[in-house]
Amino acid sequence: MTATKADARNLAPTQRLSRPATLQINRLEDGCVIYQPEQDRVHFLNQTAAIVLELCDGHHDGLAIAAQVAEHLGPHATARKVSCDILQRFLAEGLIMVAAEPPGVTVGGRKRPVKKV
């Protein structure tokens, strides 16, 4: 699976998201600590941000991630905004990227057609 770096302002809610394989994730009781070797940076994530990062596995899109965050925070509009803000920040920091879409994958509840070349 190939992933691409995306501009956080252009992130579509139906794009599947993934983490770079090089991230070193250390889970804690109340979140996690992430080491980004390429930038030699350390990030401290709270529990909600850790859930979002865990869901960026190449199989979930922004809508699915927002739904999971709503289960964690409660079903209100704030949960969607929180997850969107976290995803945009993660993209800007290089902690996640847009995963390449294989042909015919289901995204946002709809099956994308296979394009013939």
d(CA 111, CA 77): 27
Higher pLDDT residue, 113 or 82? 82
Highest mean pLDDT among 4-13, 35-44, 98-107: 35-44
- In 2-50, DSSP assigns E strands to 3-4, 16-18, 24-28, 31-36, 41-46
- Token pair listed for 58: 């190449």
Indicate the average pLDDT of the chain: 82
- Domain ranges, ordered by start, for the chain: 15-100
Q: Is residue 95's pLDDT more than 50?
A: yes
- Token pair listed for 105: 């994958």
Q: Is residue 2's pLDDT more than 60?
A: no
pTM: 0.76
**Can you name the CATH fold of 15-100?**
Outer Surface Protein A; domain 3 (3.90.930)
Of 32, 11, 30, which is closest to residue 96 (Cα–Cα)? 11
Continuous segment of H or E residues that includes residue 62 = helix 62-73
